[in-house]
Amino acid sequence: MPTDWDRVLHPRSVALVGASGREGHPMARPLAWLRDRGFAGVVAPVNPKYPSLGGLPCHPSLADVPGPVDLVLALVPAARAVDTVEEAGAVGAAAVVVFASGFAEVGEEGAALQAELAAVARRTGVRVLGPNCQGLYVARSRLFATFTAAGERPLEGSSGIAYVGQSGAIGGAVLDVAASRGLDLTAWVSTGNQADVDVTEIGRVLVADPDVRVLAVYTEALPSPEDYVRLAAEARDAGTALVVLRSGRTDAGRRAALSHTGAMLADGTAFELVSRAYGVVTVDDVEELLAAATLLRTQAPPRGRNVAAVTSSGGAGILAADRCADLGLAVPELGEETREKLALRVPAFGAVGNPVDVTAQLFNDGGGAFGEVCALVRADPAVDAVLILLTMLVGDTATALAADLADTVVEGPPGGPPLAVVWMAGEDATVEARAVLRVAGIPVFSSVAVATRVLASVTPRPAPPAVVVEPAVAPPGDGWDLLDAFGIPVPRSAAVVDPDEASGAVTAVGGTAVLKAVAAGLEHKTEAGGVRLGVTADTATGQAADLLAGVADTVLVQEQVAPGVELLVAVDGGRDGWPPVLTVGHGGTGTEIHRDVAHALAPVSPTTARELLASLRCWPLLAGHRGAAPADVDAAVDVIVRVGRAAVVPGLRELEVNPVVVGTSGAVAVDVLLDREDAATPSPEEER
């Protein structure tokens, strides 16, 4: 039965099981806040120890509460939580908020209790928020179903920013800091251990709420990547900006892999690619989470990566230009027409290129010249975002300046380049000025580094178009058979177990060969001395005998391919519910040393394959470095596309081709590793 989220977020009645009259205790806050701060529904404390609490009738049990109960707050110890959910189900409640800790976070016994809680929720149909959470707050219904100390603030407005996150402490910090900046959140939800409701589910409810323009999310774990994709897609379709801070991206959750790819494919790769595909803004800390949400609640994201800096200090402008370069943001010179207009307003000893340095003289002259300068810069066709850098401008001067900037946004074109301000002055000396900018929807930062990181994060990163291919059935056999099935060129080869067969095999593959040792458990042939290059028919017998007497059970005789640029091309079949990821990089035995890789969701188009190659540091080797003949990029693109299509092979865990040797004519897969569900380990002849 679908959840009636209106009964959870805008309940007609809230029952507080285990309500306490202990003044000053955190668990006494929900009752006091619901009673005193504008909640229009019924507030029903439940505790057999009291006839009344806070001037309200107190009921001995949930069953004794008159009328329907929409939402239950479980202010009880962990041991009583399961019974409370059972009782909530009996009275037809929509949801229970379980505040108590003592569940999966404390060990096996707590995990068992949490599993029981989840089972009861499923059986009764009662949704459980928590356990080990700090509840929720909804501005429109004045629902203070929380005990967070941040709720002590007035929280009388609604900024259009909603928050949902696992950590109650981090969530409380977001609620508190936002309120301190005059940005009371529209909704705030702490999901805790997520025994039932998780961040993606409640997030999908919030992005559909017309009161919510931005959803900020903090997550430590995404139980269902498929649900994250749904959240991202629904936010995009609803026009709600989604800003996500994900922690734990580099934990030991990364699987140990036999391949080079697995060693370099971080846990967060698929998450970042999915986020990029759906226009999700990803950030690295709490300050950036709130700052990005603040910018996006009233201003459109930048159309591109060109930033114009307008500053009262040449030094600040240089800092901004440096930070932009570090983050891949461009600081281009402004157009000639813009510079001519700026020259009429900026003192002669200033600068009108980019950064635009108006100098302190402009402010000493008074008037609205600074706003005009910012408006001219914002109107330049090459500008995608404007970063305004102010130093020690305080007091009345600061307030007048802020009003001037606010007019620039209001009077500018709708959806024009966003403005952000870095104000390097004490907040106590610029309180009124910051308030003016906040009302205008212009975020104010105290750090150039944070401001540029936020601008970089909110700038859309073009995502390659999705490519759909029909599922393919993997042929029986090893990785070479799979490459053959997908039409990927490979060298001629033959396997021998008798040294006397080696000479004829070398002749059959072209006269010059590479001999490779094949044996169970032999993962890295080169390090084990299991690869012999430039073997001819005359030397083949001795070389094969040496390998068979040492590290090999079988010798693979393979046509020696002409030298070329070595690439790594690999695809996984999707990990832990994430979509498949294609990896392209500088290959060969030095892959881990180069660590020159690029990723995309698989399969990919030829255009995307070419873009991946062009993004690599080794691209000049393919393009023809210092007069060398260019490699056959078209052939490399074809191999990348074909490997990417293997992502749809049922049961594929990983296919790695390393190296793909790209010559001046053609590209050949020289080694392959295949890992799939119907094989316990990769077969030795496939391993490098």
In tens, the pLDDT along 452-504 reads 999 999 998 888 887 877 766 667 678 888 999 999 999 999 999 999 999 99
**DSSP state, residue 588:** S
pLDDT at 683: 45
What share of the chain in percent tops pLDDT 90? 66
Band (267; pLDDT cuts 50, 70, 90): low
Cα separation, 573 vs 655, in Å, equals: 8
pLDDT at 40: 95
Element (H, E) at 180: helix 168-180
Q: Is the dihedral of CA 369, 374, 379, 381 positive or negative?
A: positive
Indicate if 565-686 has the same CATH topology as 492-559. no
Q: Mean pLDDT across the stretch 161-188? A: 93
In this model, does residue 372 exceed pLDDT 90?
Answer: no
| Three-state DSSP string of 439-451 | HCCCCEECCHHHH
In this model, does residue 651 exceed pLDDT 90?
Answer: no
* Fold adopted by 1-134: Rossmann fold (3.40.50)
In this model, does residue 377 exceed pLDDT 90?
Answer: yes
In this model, does residue 259 exceed pLDDT 60?
Answer: no
Yes or no: say if 152 and 37 are a contact pair by the CB < 8 Å rule. no
Cα separation, 65 vs 14, in Å, equals: 10
pLDDT at 153: 94
In this model, does residue 206 exceed pLDDT 80?
Answer: yes
Band (681; pLDDT cuts 50, 70, 90): very low
In this model, does residue 39 exceed pLDDT 90?
Answer: yes
Query: Could you tell me which residue, 424 or 547, shows the higher pLDDT?
Result: 547
Which of 572, 578, 600 has its CA nearest to residue 677?
572
Cα separation, 203 vs 5, in Å, equals: 12
Superfamily of domain 565-686: ATP-grasp fold, B domain (3.30.470.20)
Residue 81 neighbours by CB under 8 Å, 6+ apart: 74, 98, 100, 113, 117, 131
Could you read off the pLDDT of 219-255 as tens digits, one per residue? 987 878 999 999 999 999 999 999 999 987 554 333 3
Q: Mean pLDDT across the stretch 658-677? A: 91
Yes or no: say if 372 and 345 are a contact pair by the CB < 8 Å rule. yes
Superfamily of domain 148-299: Succinyl-CoA synthetase domains (3.40.50.261)
Could you read off the pLDDT of 48-78 as tens digits, one per residue? 999 999 999 999 999 999 989 999 999 999 9
For the record, the structure tokens of 339 come out as: 């510079």
Give the phi and the psi of residue 498 in degrees, each rounded to 5: -120, 125
Band (7; pLDDT cuts 50, 70, 90): very high
For the record, the structure tokens of 485 come out as: 């099935």
Model-level pTM?
A: 0.88
pLDDT at 682: 43
CA distances from 438 to 190, 287, 442, 672 (A): 26, 16, 6, 57
**DSSP state, residue 473:** P
CA 279 from centroid of its chain's CA atoms: 10
Element (H, E) at 599: strand 597-601
- Residues paired with 351 in a beta bridge: 357
Yes or no: say if 596 and 583 are a contact pair by the CB < 8 Å rule. no
In this model, does residue 314 exceed pLDDT 90?
Answer: no
For the record, the structure tokens of 556 come out as: 């693979």
In this model, does residue 559 exceed pLDDT 70?
Answer: yes
pLDDT at 280: 96
pLDDT at 320: 93
| Three-state DSSP string of 222-285 | CCCHHHHHHHHHHHHHHCCEEEEEECCCCCCCCCCCCCHHHHHCCCHHHHHHHHHHCCCEEECC
Mean pLDDT check: name the lowest of 113-117, 400-404, 581-585.
400-404
Query: DSSP E strands: which ranges in 5-61?
Result: 13-17, 42-46, 52-53, 56-57
CATH of domain 492-559: 3.30.1490.20
pLDDT at 678: 63
CB burial string 153-184: b at 16+ within 10 A, e below: eebeebbbbbbbbbbbebbbbbbbebbebebb
Q: Give SS3 for 378.
A: helix
| Look-up of token digits 């943001």 | 329
pLDDT at 221: 78
| Look-up of token digits 């079988």 | 554
Q: Mean pLDDT across the stretch 44-49? A: 96
Band (370; pLDDT cuts 50, 70, 90): confident
Cα separation, 7 vs 4, in Å, equals: 6
Q: Mean pLDDT across the stretch 19-46? A: 92
What are the extents of the domains in the chain?
A: 1-134, 148-299, 302-458, 492-559, 565-686
Architecture of the structural domain at 302-458: 3-Layer(aba) Sandwich (3.40)
